[in-house]
Structure 1
Amino acid sequence: MGWDAWITLAVIAAMVVALVSERVAPTVAVTTAVVVLYLVDVVDFDGAFGGLSNAAPVTVAALYVIAGAAEQTGALARGLDGVLGARRPASERRAVWRVSRVAAGGSAFVPNTPLVALMVPSIEQWSRRHGFSSSRVLMPLSYAAVLGGVITILGTSTNLVVNGFLDAAGEEPFGVFSITPVGLPVALAGVAVLVLLSPLLLPRRSTPGDQLGSGREYTIEMVVTAGGGLAGASVADAGFAELDGLSLAAVDRLGQVVAPDADVRLEPGDHLLFTGPIDRIHDLEKVDGLVTTHEELSAPTGPDRSHMFEAVVADTGPLAGHTLKQLGFHERHGATVLAIHRAGDPARGPIGDVVLRGGDVLVLVAEDGFRDRIRDLPDFLVVAPMEASAPVRRPGGRIVQLVVLALLLATGSGLVDLTPASIAGAWALVVTRVVSPTEAVRSVNFNVIALVAMSFGLGAAAAESGLAERFAEVLVDLGDPLGHVGVLVGVMAATLVLTELLSNNAAAALMFPVAAAISTETGTDLRSLALGVLVMASCSFLSPIGYQTNTMVWSIGGYRFSDFTRVGVPLTAVVFATTALVIPLAYPLAT
């Protein structure tokens, strides 16, 4: 190997150490490696930064806009409960099956990272509603979404990275459904492993969200408005007795608590204290002349972007031992407390005067960005969106569904390439005002976009320095006794190791030049090798840091690092074996 290859190897080794230490974000690590290799003249400017002009990051960004529009309008969330099933699963395997089929099927057509982010809150609520911990299904949710991501080219950014490398190498890129003959059997085999083995291998963990629940009894505070149907009416005539599961506990009038006797007449500004399950709050919102405390405090300045959250008060945080009024909670957090739950000892009196305790569950209404603002504060143990937490859904869900359908038909039939079709779909959603330009930009994960773009520089450095060619020679020597199949298995195994150490996009970027060199030397079909790289780079199951969706459910599910390995080892073995068996059947290995 020449000096350039040794330098490239050293830089990549340093990048691996940085990533394994988890002290450096993948985007920063990969970008730094590419910049260093450019500055020491291992790779030229076009090679290092050519990914910025590649179609892959643009396509990924456009797909994020479409996925964001689906979330904003509820086009994906609508019917999710119906697909999961309203009845309680008969067993944990049934629960895993329900979640896995939805995640795998959805991620075939929607990028799996935003899909999992969208599904996690619903899955948590669905689990609690049926009386089992979400830790039993959150890891299968992530793994199934990863598996579904290899069914079509739309499922992961890694698929598009490999497609971009194929295009740059002068090969025909994969169409939307070109990888389905391989990806579908892999996904089915993987889901079968999850259904059969995850209930046995996955330890029982208690999630932070297990402390939350809509079936508990809360103290809920509402406000009587002037000019509404309640002002001047008696408690008996207000119709509260008809509200299922709710009871009026007290009336707070200018700081004086009044017993809710039948003949008490309600006045504008009265704060009514109800007790009951929080999911009945929507029944209260339908009562003419009754609003939440959030609506009372918040002047209407534009479209409603408020969300509802449940938050568990931390024992040692600054909230415990104080009332909401003393804390100036609304001004402090930009959020309004609608209700409070206290296990074993219901909170009594006006919510603002209740002395908070560690473990109290608050129902909050807050604007966009609330969780980002409080993420590093010690006030709460956990903050989780509620089932009804989405902002008011705007019309446009049908347009999103039509755009996705048109995208699939146009690209699947070969009439339009994926990149222009994705851009046209995203543009159509902005032009039709389904999403605003600002919302479109917010829906794009620019860390992923940057990582995709810079991954091409990493691949170019490996190719231009000669490192990829040398690595290819080693793999050929090991796999050559078994012919083209041995070479394919070698490429897949190397990709598997790299994707567990690096990000999936970085692993694909490093292995594609190796696959190209092997194809030239052995005559093995490059598209077949690229497909092996695509599947194994995407299917990372051995650690929580190998794939974004794994990291996403790691803390939410209360998992330990080793939990991913326990389930991931047999899943990886089955996925690897299935891929190695199916690729030679679907694609010719010899050119």
Structure 2
Amino acid sequence: MTVEIAIVFAVIALALYLFASEKLPLDVTALLILITLMVIPLVGHSPWLIERGIDLRAAFPTVSEGLSGLSSTATVTVLAMFILSAGIQRSGLVNLLGKKLFPLVGTSELRMMLVVALLVGLISGFINNTAAVAVAIPLVLDMCKRLKMHASRLLIPVSFFGMLGGTLTLIGTSTNILASAILKDRPEFGREIDMFEFTHLGLIVLGVGLVYFLTVGRWLLPKKDRIKLHDEDARQFVVELRIPDDSELIGKTLEESDFASRAHVEIVKLVRENTSHIKQAQVKPIKRLDIIQVRAQMRQVVDLIKSNDVDVLFDTGQLRKARSDGQLVRALVRDRQRFSGRKVREAGFWKRDQARLIGLETEQVTERYLGDEKLHVGEVVLLQCSNTSLAKLRRQTDVILLEEHEDSFDNQKMIWAGSIVTAVVLSAALTPLPIVVTALIGIIAMVLSGCINKHDIYSGVSWDVIFLLAGVIPLGIAMTKSGGAEWLGGLLAVFASGWHPIWVLMALYAVTTLLTEMVSNNASVVILVPVAIALGESLGIDIFPMVLAVMFAASTSFLSPIGYQTNTMIYGTGLYRFTDFAKVGAPLNVLLMIVTSLGLYAFWIA
């Protein structure tokens, strides 16, 4: 191993640590990697190193190469697909399809699995799978409530089918687009992957996933329904109450006034200025402007808002009183860039959505004030809003409304949005135009047809993913220029020498799966695709199926709720335990490792 390769692997080790630990946001980590890769050859270029045969400039990206991730066809294509997916979501087309399909369910859980596979799995092949899952969650919850099915048994399949659907086409997930861009720049392959070049294998993978959930997977899903959809009002929220000047509680203790019993709430803590009282919350005399933190059901929150003895606060920390004429709705937080790690008071619900954040559905509050609690993807918040702001929220991609509502979508926009995305896909598949060009044309068509507006173009993009791509693409360049990928591929080839290609594919699939659980799927693709190419060349195996093994494995992160954003989204909604994902996902990962490897061998090697 040369010094150059050692430095590249040191940067990769640092990147893996930061990605896995999440000490920094993923996009910030990616930009830090980008800067590091560009700075090393500039500050490390010295005559002393050159005399010893160490040329860091030749092993690391130049400034232009380091910034190439921002202009990469992969980055631009993923950005464009986010916007097109937002247009589909806002048009209500997926909601309409769900409403048409779900009546076929009857009262059968097996049929529900089939409908979920058709709705989420197939749609995820053509729009961003996160958007498909986001739309499907409230639809599935609504059907479970109507048919008295167990929602905890169906949300994991919703997430998993979203990921499996991403293996159907080139645009199914950002990892496919990224791998295609890497292959195009390699002289061994020299072209982009065609739109439907691996769809036949993707259909097999999706079919195997469906059979799994219709048989073995059903027995591994939670036996009991942890979501009490049939008594929706029984769900509890942590809410903050302020004591107004004319409250009858002033001078009394909560115990003396029997406040908890009368209001049917659970006292969490009493906050007075900068001091919190938990054990003594009920025995301290109440003073003006005290904050009482309680856990309450939705119907009790409505009563508290109307009470003269307390003021229900919204956007806590700002000490603003909730109105009595708003509608309460539950909403799932899904946008990592906007919410993850941000304090409740900084979430901007009122400023951006004209919605008041009243409460948080959480088991434990770690901060003194609810406003200082940090939000995470998958958490559920209680919002109060008018009918006008509620209509706007229904079309937001940042949050998912979990209450039952009537559809109020424009049929004309559904037709336009569906037609535009269909035209984008078919044009890329049937004409010489690359997908990045057809997707950008599709965005213009979405704007001109009124399916999206200027705000939607920006809000519909997961910018953390875009900057992640921009930051990790130079890492792949460094792996190639330094010879690190070739060195690691040769090292693995020594161990795999004499192995049957199927065993090589399985090993590559397993390594990618484990790495993807620790870091992002895009990072694992950037690191391992060059290694897969080098390994294939060393062993005399076609590099295309080797790269496909990495792509498919990176798209199936089933082992934990943090492996993929769709898992994180349903983690809190389904009240799952961390181990539920491994229990259901590990056998499926092993099964798909075998099926995918056999398929790759049969279709491209044998």
Q: Can you list the C-alpha shifts for 1:477-521, whole angstroms capped at 9, x where unaligned?
A: 222212444433333232222112111000000011112222333
1:482 aligned counterpart, secondary structure: coil
Deviation, 1:405, is: 1.9
Q: Within the alignment, does 1:368 sit opposite 2:340 as a pair?
A: no
Q: TM-score, normalised by structure 1?
A: 0.72
Find 1:323's aligned residue among 282, 302, 305: 305
Find 2:207's aligned residue among 176, 188, 200: 188
Which amino acid is the alignment partner of residue 75 of structure 1?
Answer: L
Deviation, 1:196, is: 1.4
Over 3 Å counting, the alpha-carbon distance change for 1:87 and 1:573 in structure 2 is closer
2:18 corresponds in structure 1 to 18
Q: What is the rounded CA distance, in whole Å, between the counterparts of 2:509 and 2:604 in structure 1?
A: 15
Which amino acid is the alignment partner of residue 296 of structure 2?
Answer: D
Deviation, 1:369, is: 6.7
Is 1:8–1:467's contact at 8 Å kept on the other side of the alignment?
yes
Which amino acid is the alignment partner of residue 62 of structure 2?
Answer: D
Over 3 Å counting, the alpha-carbon distance change for 1:164 and 1:386 in structure 2 is same
Using the TM superposition, name which of 171-180 and 503-512 deviates more.
171-180
Over 3 Å counting, the alpha-carbon distance change for 1:206 and 1:87 in structure 2 is closer
For residues 570-589 of structure 1, the aligned pairs below 5 Å read 570-588=587-605
1:471 corresponds in structure 2 to 488
> What root-mean-square deviation, in Å, do the aligned CA atoms of Structure 1 and Structure 2 show?
3.3
Which amino acid is the alignment partner of residue 588 of structure 1?
Answer: I
Find 2:522's aligned residue among 478, 497, 505: 505
Q: Can you list the C-alpha shifts for 1:200-238, whole angstroms capped at 9, x where unaligned?
A: 11224655663764999xxxxxxxxxxxxxxxxxxxxxx
Q: What is the rounded CA distance, in whole Å, between the counterparts of 2:553 and 2:210 in structure 1?
A: 16
2:402 corresponds in structure 1 to 385
1:162 corresponds in structure 2 to 179
Using the TM superposition, name which of 192-201 and 328-337 deviates more.
328-337
Q: Within the alignment, does 1:337 sit opposite 2:326 as a pair?
A: yes
Q: Within the alignment, does 1:531 sit opposite 2:555 as a pair?
A: no
Q: Within the alignment, does 1:140 sit opposite 2:157 as a pair?
A: yes
Q: What is the rounded CA distance, in whole Å, between the counterparts of 2:588 and 2:326 in structure 1?
A: 44
Aligned residue pairs, count: 470
Is 1:336–1:365's contact at 8 Å kept on the other side of the alignment?
no
Is 1:175–1:414's contact at 8 Å kept on the other side of the alignment?
no
Which amino acid is the alignment partner of residue 92 of structure 2?
Answer: G
Unaligned runs of 5+ in 1: 217-312, 342-363
Is 1:49–1:456's contact at 8 Å kept on the other side of the alignment?
no
2:74 corresponds in structure 1 to 56
Deviation, 1:435, is: 1.4
2:148 aligned counterpart, secondary structure: coil
Q: What is the rounded CA distance, in whole Å, between the counterparts of 1:467 and 1:371 in structure 2?
A: 52
Q: Within the alignment, does 1:314 sit opposite 2:295 as a pair?
A: yes
Deviation, 1:61, is: 1.4
Which amino acid is the alignment partner of residue 512 of structure 2?
Answer: T
Unaligned runs of 5+ in 2: 42-59, 236-293, 315-319, 331-348, 361-369, 383-400
Over 3 Å counting, the alpha-carbon distance change for 1:414 and 1:205 in structure 2 is farther
1:314 aligned counterpart, secondary structure: strand
1:451 corresponds in structure 2 to 468
Over 3 Å counting, the alpha-carbon distance change for 1:454 and 1:28 in structure 2 is same
Find 1:404's aligned residue among 421, 439, 454: 421
Q: TM-score, normalised by structure 2?
A: 0.71
Deviation, 1:390, is: 6.4
2:88 corresponds in structure 1 to 70
Q: Can you list the C-alpha shifts for 1:418-468, whole angstroms capped at 9, x where unaligned?
A: 111111111111122221121122111111111122221221222233322
Is 1:462–1:468's contact at 8 Å kept on the other side of the alignment?
yes
2:296 aligned counterpart, secondary structure: coil
Over 3 Å counting, the alpha-carbon distance change for 1:586 and 1:463 in structure 2 is same
Is 1:104–1:148's contact at 8 Å kept on the other side of the alignment?
yes
Q: Within the alignment, does 1:93 sit opposite 2:110 as a pair?
A: yes
Using the TM superposition, name which of 519-528 and 177-186 deviates more.
519-528
Q: What is the rounded CA distance, in whole Å, between the counterparts of 1:505 and 1:562 in structure 2?
A: 24
1:565 corresponds in structure 2 to 582
Q: Within the alignment, does 1:46 sit opposite 2:64 as a pair?
A: yes
Q: Within the alignment, does 1:128 sit opposite 2:109 as a pair?
A: no
Q: What is the rounded CA distance, in whole Å, between the counterparts of 1:516 and 1:334 in structure 2?
A: 61
Over 3 Å counting, the alpha-carbon distance change for 1:393 and 1:479 in structure 2 is same
